[in-house]
Structure 1
Amino acid sequence: MLEVLKKVLRKLFNNNMQVVRFALLMSFLNFVFFHYPFFKFIFENVDYKSLNGIILVISLIIAVLVVNAFVFYLVLYLSRIVGKSLLILFFILNAVSVYFINTYSTIIDESMIGNVFNTNYEEASGFFSFTLILYVILLGIIPAIYIIKTKIVKAPFKKFIATSSLALLFIILLVAANANNLLWVDKNAKQLGGLVMPWSYTVNTSRFYVHKYRSNKKEIMLPDATIKDNEKAVVVLVIGESARMQNFSLYGYGKNTNPFLSQTSNVFHFPATSYATYTTATVKCILEHANTNDLYEILPNYLYRNNVEVVWRTTNWGEPPVHIEKYQTMDSLRQHCEGEGCDYDEILLAGLKEQVLASNKNKVLIILHTSTSHGPTYSKKYPPRFEVFRPVCNSVELGECFPEELINAYDNTIVYTDYILHRIIEELEQLSEYKSTMMYVSDHGESLGEKNLYMHGVPMSIAPKEQYEIPFIVWVSDGSKELKPNEILSQHHVFHSVLNFLNIESPVYNEEMNIFK
């Protein structure tokens, strides 16, 4: 039996294969290995028992096979080395992509590509698992070995032209035959495009860099601002990470996840929504003066240029370019930090009060960009003493955890967030010469298995409320400011509220977006 298998493998690898046959085979393997999520979505959203539904499903199957085969054929004919290299890369990246789609129900659209390119090593390593290795080996490495060993015979030029023309004509006829279904395809283009391999990440990577190039051509400066008084004032803006509103007991959650803030005076909380479901877009939104696709001067840069003391402290990433003197990362803060909290977001508080007192300016803005509730390793985001709710999920494959374990681990990150915010308030209360405020707003929410979705990044057009309903919590010192009877807030309220609290006059200031009286 073993000898027979060896002969079959030897014959398979040693035989010459026509380029068109090889392209069809690669398209078929690509279809079988990587398109279950694609067709799962189709069957969940199409009446596949109706005649039109049957035609649509069959047409999409043929389209995926033929279009991929056509592209593979073109590239392989032009250059077998380049074609094989691309196919190897596609199979490996497809394997990784499908792992994340199957494990976290992600969609590989442009925003998800942005998340990938703005993820650092620490966050990326949190997704490492044995299952991911299996995906890469079985669906990526083994096909890659076959691709390398197979000998491809190039077809005559006339045959290449004839084959290409027929394939192109067939694709055009297929599209024409499905004219009635084009509206459905257009309506679901984001989901379909984010699940078809390898075009989900190739096309969206191109789109990401095109839009990034356009938006970062030049930072658009805002008109100069004026500081209207010499009264000492400090704002601490805390940008939360993946904190969803519904798990804060301040908002009525059944478990006590806010034991400190619930007992603190002058704390106000408002329901809010995020601009998007991924960090790069939402942090930009929190820091900009208006909803725009252009890269305007963001809040820290603007105030720093207009003679405000600005400090940025971060354990996270994904913010727009920050042009200030005091940009402090976890590594730089660690030099002045002691204790177990230095390995977590508490490090952002090290020497915070002393830094304010050391300033020679009367107006101070401190931005703390946290990472407390970022998955999938929620149980590693807080010190052990904050593990209030047990048992907890310790796996990066969230779908393998019991729902209670996953929610417990996540709730513990909210308990830790509550403690950090309480500590900030304590520090500010000691700055008796300053009128002070703390504003906490999360970048986006988080899915914890609802509708079989995990983490975040689902396009806003189809995102569940868990991924965009966020907390907006404000504390003010005695005698400083009163708050308006705000209802639902947005992340754009931050920019104008900070200007108001620091009493800074600006042509771009919008009173309607200010939360203070």
Structure 2
Amino acid sequence: MLKNNIKLIHFVLLISLLNFLFFHFPFFSFVFENVDYKSISGIFLIISLIILMLVANAFAFYLFYFLSRYVGKFLLVITFIISSIAVYFINTYSVIIDESMIGNVLNTNYSESSTFFSFKLVLYVLLLGILPSIYIIKAKVTTVPLKKFFITISLTLLFMLTMVFVNASNWLWIDKNSKTLGGLAMPWSYSVNISLFYIHKSQKNQKEILLPNATIKDNKKSVVVLVIGESVRRANFSLYGYKKDTNPLLSKIPNVHHFNANSNATYTTAGVKSILEYKDTGDLYEILPNYLDRNNVEVIWRTTNWGEPPVHIKNYQDRAFLVPKCKGEGCSYDEVLLTDLNGQILASKKNKILIVLHTSTSHGPTYSKKYPLQFEKFKPVCNSVELGKCSQTELMNAYDNTIVYTDYILSKVIEDLKQLKDYNSAMIFVSDHGESLGEKNLYMHGLPLSMAPKEQYEIPFIVWSSDDSKQLKPNKTLSQHNVFHSVLNFLNVQSPIYDENMNIFK
């Protein structure tokens, strides 16, 4: 084979096969341990992963080699050598090559790294790295016409996309195990995670672009509680016409208004950012809590979740901070966010207060674990993390119970605010994104917005305000960006970037 010319497509398929055989035993060991390989769906998933692994790697190798024969061969050699080292550490120390592990590797000095040297490591590098590299360097690969190149990559991309979508029922399992799978797939584990490490490192060092200074225009005591929902879709709220009574409390409270809204993303980090930023710029501008805190508003952030942009305030309170001060069964759930809420408001020496409660109640796949037992209004429920194994009724019941619990939490917030007679008060509830519950064989969320079903972006936007405070405009469809300007208006904070068209209050 070294003496004769080899076609590029045959070459990359052979290299992909060697990559598969040499470096993916840990990957598929994990798959077999966590998949029912005796079931039809399990067999289909395993076969699909094998095919996708071979084709995706061959595709990448094909692309690199076509763009530059010498650079392509160099990258292949580097790939095999690094992969041989990586799989040595995986097999020997049971590590996962994720972003944190990349950080450990890149921050290790020579004296520490040299302690890992062993004869076994030399054998791995020699047999799995250097020997195939010799073949890669010496192989005589024929060139490919440009037209054939584009036809090949187009058909390959189409094939991979088809394989992905026919496995829609397995997306949840892949998403649930994505960190481990990604940390065991060669060469993607280290190549992707090295990139992510440096991207996130640069973001940590990146400073927010400050917004222009704001001015508080009166001394009237005002408080806004912004509740950020997690994976809450509008369709399952009886306030919006859902046939099951998932809002037994909110439906009876005066001054509760609900509006149609769409999220700007289908995943948490982007969705929360949209709720907190003044408009969609693509840049890292100062977010609402940081902006108000800098301009003399009391800001309190309470969270049982994650994924928010950097929050630079003194009163950042997570579950670990709140639990010791909480009493009762609800402390294991999102009720912990309500711990002594009024006490903290009354203790403030400032007249303007924003409280953000970042919840996690409707986050899948374990919906039935996100609420106390007394809120299990609809039965039977899905208790499996493999949502495709549950009936549609069980899955919907479990999710609907999270909405019933959310209804309770929001009603508790309103009841607390009603007790603050000296304050103008408001509660705004908006979700980061929606959720798929088996429609079109899709589960949870995260599809690109351009192709996501409505269940993943149609969200609730619910507002309550106290009797003597501001009334609401006759709004129709809102967006997450309405939050920033509406909070400024309610607290009577004047700012050059305030947009009256984005304010929901009269």
Where on the TM-score scale, by shorter chain, does this alignment land: which range?
0.7 to 0.9
Q: Of 277, 289, 293, which aligns to 2:278?
A: 289
Query: What secondary structure is seen at the aligned counterpart in 2 of 1:234?
Result: strand
Query: What secondary structure is seen at the aligned counterpart in 2 of 1:166?
Result: coil
TM-superposed CA distance for 1:214, in Å, is 5.7
1:400 matches 2:386? no
TM-superposed CA distance for 1:27, in Å, is 3.9
The answer to whether the 8 Å contact 1:90/1:198 transfers is no
1:272 matches 2:261? yes
TM-superposed CA distance for 1:275, in Å, is 1.0
1:308 matches 2:294? no
Deviations 1:308-346 (A, max 9, x none): 111111111111111111111111111221100111100
Could you say if the C-alpha distance between residues 401 and 207 of structure 1 is closer, same or farther in structure 2, counting changes exceeding 3 Å?
same
TM-score if structure 2 supplies the norm length? 0.74
Distance in 2 (CA, whole Å) between partners of 1:444 and 1:377 is 17
**1:366-381 alignment runs, 5 A limit:** 366-381=355-370
Could you say if the C-alpha distance between residues 362 and 199 of structure 1 is closer, same or farther in structure 2, counting changes exceeding 3 Å?
same
Query: What secondary structure is seen at the aligned counterpart in 2 of 1:335?
Result: helix
**1:15-414 alignment runs, 5 A limit:** 24-27=17-20, 63-64=58-59, 67=62, 77=77, 82-86=82-86, 151-152=127-128, 154=130, 160-163=136-139, 166=141, 169-170=143-144, 174-178=148-152, 205=193, 208=196, 212=200, 215-216=203-204, 217-414=206-403
1:416 matches 2:405? yes
Deviations 1:280-326 (A, max 9, x none): 11111111111022111111111111111111111111111111111
Deviations 1:21-58 (A, max 9, x none): 776333479699799779979x9xxxxxxxxxxxxx9x
Could you say if the C-alpha distance between residues 89 and 398 of structure 1 is closer, same or farther in structure 2, counting changes exceeding 3 Å?
farther
The answer to whether the 8 Å contact 1:22/1:152 transfers is no
1:430 matches 2:419? yes
The answer to whether the 8 Å contact 1:289/1:298 transfers is yes
Deviations 1:76-110 (A, max 9, x none): 75586533234578999xxx99xxxxxxxxxxxxx
Query: What secondary structure is seen at the aligned counterpart in 2 of 1:399?
Result: helix
TM-superposed CA distance for 1:235, in Å, is 0.3
Could you say if the C-alpha distance between residues 463 and 38 of structure 1 is closer, same or farther in structure 2, counting changes exceeding 3 Å?
farther
Could you say if the C-alpha distance between residues 486 and 65 of structure 1 is closer, same or farther in structure 2, counting changes exceeding 3 Å?
closer
Q: Of 492, 497, 504, which aligns to 1:503?
A: 492
1:493 matches 2:482? yes
Deviations 1:356-404 (A, max 9, x none): 1111111111110111101111111000000000111111111111111
In terms of mean alpha carbon deviation, does 82-91 or 380-389 score higher?
82-91
Could you say if the C-alpha distance between residues 203 and 229 of structure 1 is closer, same or farther in structure 2, counting changes exceeding 3 Å?
same
The answer to whether the 8 Å contact 1:215/1:295 transfers is no
Distance in 2 (CA, whole Å) between partners of 1:155 and 1:28 is 14
Tell me which amino acid in the other structure corresponds to 1:166. V
Could you tell me the percent identity over the aligned residues? 54
TM-superposed CA distance for 1:475, in Å, is 0.3
Tell me which amino acid in the other structure corresponds to 1:161. I
Could you say if the C-alpha distance between residues 411 and 148 of structure 1 is closer, same or farther in structure 2, counting changes exceeding 3 Å?
farther
The answer to whether the 8 Å contact 1:27/1:65 transfers is no
TM-superposed CA distance for 1:173, in Å, is 7.0
The answer to whether the 8 Å contact 2:239/2:247 transfers is yes
Tell me which amino acid in the other structure corresponds to 2:341. L
Distance in 1 (CA, whole Å) between partners of 2:471 and 2:163 is 47
Query: What secondary structure is seen at the aligned counterpart in 1 of 2:394?
Result: helix
Distance in 2 (CA, whole Å) between partners of 1:61 and 1:328 is 43
Tell me which amino acid in the other structure corresponds to 1:26. N
Question: How many residues align structurally?
Answer: 433
Gaps of 5+ in 2: 1-11, 32-42, 66-70, 101-122, 175-181
Could you say if the C-alpha distance between residues 418 and 79 of structure 1 is closer, same or farther in structure 2, counting changes exceeding 3 Å?
closer
Query: What secondary structure is seen at the aligned counterpart in 1 of 2:141?
Result: helix
In terms of mean alpha carbon deviation, does 455-464 or 439-448 score higher?
455-464
Distance in 1 (CA, whole Å) between partners of 2:371 and 2:236 is 16
Distance in 1 (CA, whole Å) between partners of 2:161 and 2:202 is 26
Distance in 2 (CA, whole Å) between partners of 1:424 and 1:331 is 21
TM-score if structure 1 supplies the norm length? 0.72
Tell me which amino acid in the other structure corresponds to 2:19. M
Could you say if the C-alpha distance between residues 250 and 90 of structure 1 is closer, same or farther in structure 2, counting changes exceeding 3 Å?
farther
Gaps of 5+ in 1: 1-18, 44-56, 98-112, 118-146
